């Protein structure tokens, strides 16, 4: 895979089924797919009145036996750039936990090298999965650091606005999710994401992305990447819990978000982020 900065995830071409008089009955997904490809796709979707709210409950029961209530939480992700060592443990953990296909990433790590040139040098070999080798450029760097990236789980997300079938949605606890049964793999959300955090799954042919390990956090467990980080550069917390460590840091310390000018309201925040990060 060519070394480059985000976005890593690409949208493969979507095959359009050919018309035939002997064509078998269409499945629900094929029907939605054809409707979304036409000018009336969005109108067709409005007629499909299926509820998506049940998906916010999809992860089961917390250890204490109480049913998870998404309305009582607002999850926030915190990354401390000054602590990240670029080891790739987080990327590998995410890959294992979520069966992420090779060369696609729900989370990745970028290396920034600041030189005397106008722009920083940014690379991310294989998404930082296997760590980073020695620098091979000829310019002497003034500083270097690693920047982990994930889906920002935006409060005002462009991806949900452009989804023609309502497959991308925001749960009551602030997590952006994808209903794979409803998704038609059109790729509109992938193109709309300003953070490069979405891709079309090469096997399932649906949109895929970081889910904050929703199947884990709703059971009281940390995300796989947070659990795997050996230096505590990644942290996960509840903004509605005043005693939560991450909640307290966000409330009392200066944190930053990526591309603040877009006003997307990210739930992923950074400590120690310098002006070169994009």
Q: Which two tokens stand for residue 208?
A: 């895929």
State the pTM of this model: 0.77
Spatial separation of the C-alpha atoms in residues 236 and 60, rounded to whole Å: 19
The listed CATH number (3.30.70.20, 2.60.130.10, 2.60.220.10, 2.30.29.30) that belongs to domain 1-7+26-278: 3.30.70.20
Strands 268-271 and 75-80: parallel
Q: How many beta carbons lie within 10 A of that of residue 52, not counting itself?
A: 15
DSSP category for residue 92: H
Residue-wise pLDDT tens digits, 187-210: 999 999 999 999 999 999 999 999
Strand partners, 78: 235, 269
pLDDT digits (tens, 9 = 90+) for 87-114: 999 999 999 999 999 999 999 999 999 8
Closest CA to 167 of 182, 155, 153: 182
For residues 62 and 236, give the distance between their C-alpha atoms in angstroms, rounded to a whole number. 17
Q: Is 174 helix (H, G, I), strand (E, B) or coil?
A: coil
The rounded distance, in Å, linking the Cα atoms of 128 and 130 is: 6
Domain spans, the chain: 1-7+26-278
Opening angle at CA 218, ends 212 and 224, nearest 5 = 40
* Residues of the chain under the 70 pLDDT cut: 1-65, 136-141
């Amino acid at each position: 895979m060519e070394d480059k900065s985000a976005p890593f995830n690409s949208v493969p071409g979507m095959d359009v089924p050919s018309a035939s008089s002997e064509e078998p009955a269409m499945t629900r997904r094929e029907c939605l797919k054809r409707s979304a490809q036409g000018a009336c796709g969005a109108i067709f979707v409005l007629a499909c009145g299926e509820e998506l709210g049940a998906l916010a409950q999809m992860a089961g029961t917390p250890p204490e036996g109480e049913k998870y209530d998404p309305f009582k939480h607002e999850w926030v992700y915190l990354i401390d750039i000054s602590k990240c060592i670029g080891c790739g443990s987080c990327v590998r953990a995410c890959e294992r936990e979520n069966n992420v296909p090779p060369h696609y990433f729900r989370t990745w790590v970028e290396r920034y090298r600041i030189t005397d040139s106008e722009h920083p040098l940014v690379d991310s070999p294989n998404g930082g999965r296997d760590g980073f080798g020695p620098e091979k450029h000829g310019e002497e760097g003034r500083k270097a650091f690693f920047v982990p990236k994930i889906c920002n789980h935006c409060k005002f997300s462009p991806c949900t606005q452009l989804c023609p079938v309502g497959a991308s949605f925001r749960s009551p606890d602030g997590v952006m999710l994808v209903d794979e049964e409803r998704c038609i793999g059109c790729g509109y959300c992938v193109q709309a994401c300003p953070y490069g955090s979405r891709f079309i799954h090469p096997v399932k042919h649906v949109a895929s992305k970081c889910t904050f390990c929703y199947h884990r956090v709703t059971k009281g467990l940390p995300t796989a990447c947070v659990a795997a980080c050996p230096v505590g550069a990644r942290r996960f917390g509840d903004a509605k819990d005043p005693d939560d460590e991450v909640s307290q840091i966000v409330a009392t310390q200066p944190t930053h978000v990526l591309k603040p000018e877009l006003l997307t309201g990210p739930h992923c925040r950074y400590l120690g982020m310098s002006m070169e990060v994009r």
